[in-house]
Structure 1
Amino acid sequence: MARRTKAEAAATREALLDAAEEVFLEKGVARTSLEQIARHAGMTRGAVYWHFRNKADLFQAMLGRVRMPFQELVAEIGDPSLVERPLEAIRLAILKGFERLEQPQYRRVHAILIHHCEVFGDIDPLAMQNEMADESCGALADYFTCAARLGHLRDDLSPVIAAELMQAMLGGLFHDWLRNHERFSLVAKGRELVDTQLALMRRA
């Protein structure tokens, strides 16, 4: 019984987060109340407060479901040889991230964060975007540093600049795609651009 109750509580929490995604996308974060989210999920406002302290807590939990730490993407590939092939690790991790972002939930939450969220109370979308970008750029810099140490990176390109170039390209591509995701495939276009950029960065 305890296990079932715990499972039911987890299902309720996920249903509330699903409802929040839909209402946030339709109305924007600032104009959405917890009562509207509860009603959309077919629950009471008390159910929301049972799982989340406030709207900021719910928003962070929603964002947490689509976080993709770079190192975790590399680990999911499950190829020990990538330790000696850091540029290929970068390539494969980015492509795995693109595949995730094309999933409706990942696309929806990032669209909310970037296009449907204003600074509101404890919710600061720019700070959240900066945190994610800094985390990604830092991880890229670590891998490019490893590539330089192994002699895989061009001598005239520093690991930090390489990371910043890749991060800038990824950010621009993602924002272009998110504005109208039906215009092109993020995976297909992303693979082309990432392969081209890494070829330009690789030591001949």
Structure 2
Amino acid sequence: MVRKTKEDAELTRQRIIDAAKEVFLKRGVSRTTLEHIALQAEVTRGAVYWHFKNKTEIFNAMRDRVILPLIDRMDDTLAIANLADDVDALTQIENSMCVTINGLNENIEMRQIYEIMMIKCEYVDEFATVLQQILNNCSNITEKIQLAYERAQAQNILAPNHTPHALALDTHLFFSGLLHMWVKDADGSRFRHQAKELIQSHINLRRKQIKL
């Protein structure tokens, strides 16, 4: 009976998160209330408060569904670049970005949550802390990209124009901008269809040219 109760509670929690996602998409985050979410989930407000202290907690739970697994996959890809001497580090940086594009192409929930994060949310008031968390994640990813560029430098495949630190920051800013435009390109006519080619070009510009 206890196990069944826990399973039911988890199902209710996931239904609340699903409902929040749908309402955030329709109304935007700032115009969504816990009452809206409760109505969409077909539960009481008390049930919502049982699982979540406030709207920010629901937003974070929704975001973690796709962001944490994605960060893990990017970390795994970059770790290969940073640990394996025989792996082209620049190709692994390229692959780490393509992991996200593949996810957006294949996973509708991931697309929806990225749309909410990038278009439907104002990071003010109680959501200022969410923005700080996002910036911290970005800093961690940039540091790992820098390590991969340092590995590329040690492999003598990196163009000598800039430091790994500058290149990592540039790559992070490039990819953040690409993701924003990918999400906004709803019909896929401008950026979505060529996202991987743009990533490849970005990395190739950093690759040391071999003189014949």
**1:18-167 pair list within 5 angstroms:** 18-68=18-68, 70=71, 72-75=73-76, 83-84=84-85, 85=87, 86-102=89-105, 103-124=107-128, 126-167=131-172
Structure 1 contact 98–186 (Cα < 8 Å) conserved: no
- Distance change in 2, residues 1:139/1:133 (3 Å): same
Report percent identity of matched pairs.
29
Separation of aligned partners in 2, 1:93 and 1:107? 18
Structure 2 contact 115–183 (Cα < 8 Å) conserved: yes
Larger displacement relative to structure 2 (125-134 or 194-203): 125-134
- Distance change in 2, residues 1:58/1:31 (3 Å): same
Separation of aligned partners in 2, 1:171 and 1:65? 19
Displacement of 1:148 after TM fit?
1.3
Which amino acid letter does the alignment assign opposite residue 133 of structure 1?
Answer: C
Gaps of 5+ in 2: none
Larger displacement relative to structure 2 (177-186 or 69-78): 69-78
Displacement of 1:92 after TM fit?
1.6
Separation of aligned partners in 1, 2:9 and 2:45? 15
- Distance change in 2, residues 1:70/1:154 (3 Å): farther
Identify the residue that residue 2 of structure 1 maps to in structure 2: 2
Structure 2 contact 182–191 (Cα < 8 Å) conserved: yes
Structure 1 contact 95–187 (Cα < 8 Å) conserved: no
Separation of aligned partners in 1, 2:204 and 2:124? 43
Query: Cα deviations across residues 18-72 of structure 1 (Å, max 9, x unaligned)?
Result: 1001111111212111111011011111111111111111111111112155453
Larger displacement relative to structure 2 (180-189 or 1-10): 180-189
Which amino acid letter does the alignment assign opposite residue 135 of structure 1?
Answer: N
- Distance change in 2, residues 1:42/1:140 (3 Å): same
Separation of aligned partners in 1, 2:150 and 2:123? 36
Separation of aligned partners in 2, 1:76 and 1:149? 18
Structure 2 contact 78–96 (Cα < 8 Å) conserved: yes
Across the aligned residues of Structure 1 and Structure 2, the Cα RMSD in angstroms comes to 2.7
Query: Cα deviations across residues 67-125 of structure 1 (Å, max 9, x unaligned)?
Result: 15545334279979972322222122211111112322112112212222124442126
Separation of aligned partners in 1, 2:25 and 2:47? 21
Structure 1 contact 71–139 (Cα < 8 Å) conserved: no
Larger displacement relative to structure 2 (1-10 or 193-202): 1-10
Structure 1 contact 29–117 (Cα < 8 Å) conserved: yes
Separation of aligned partners in 2, 1:78 and 1:157? 22
Count of residues paired in the alignment: 204
Identify the residue that residue 193 of structure 1 maps to in structure 2: 198
TM-score normalised over the length of structure 2? 0.83
TM-score normalised over the length of structure 1? 0.86
- Report the secondary structure of 1:122's partner residue: helix
- Distance change in 2, residues 1:70/1:63 (3 Å): closer
- Distance change in 2, residues 1:6/1:166 (3 Å): same
Separation of aligned partners in 2, 1:18 and 1:26? 13
Separation of aligned partners in 2, 1:201 and 1:5? 55
Structure 2 contact 182–192 (Cα < 8 Å) conserved: no
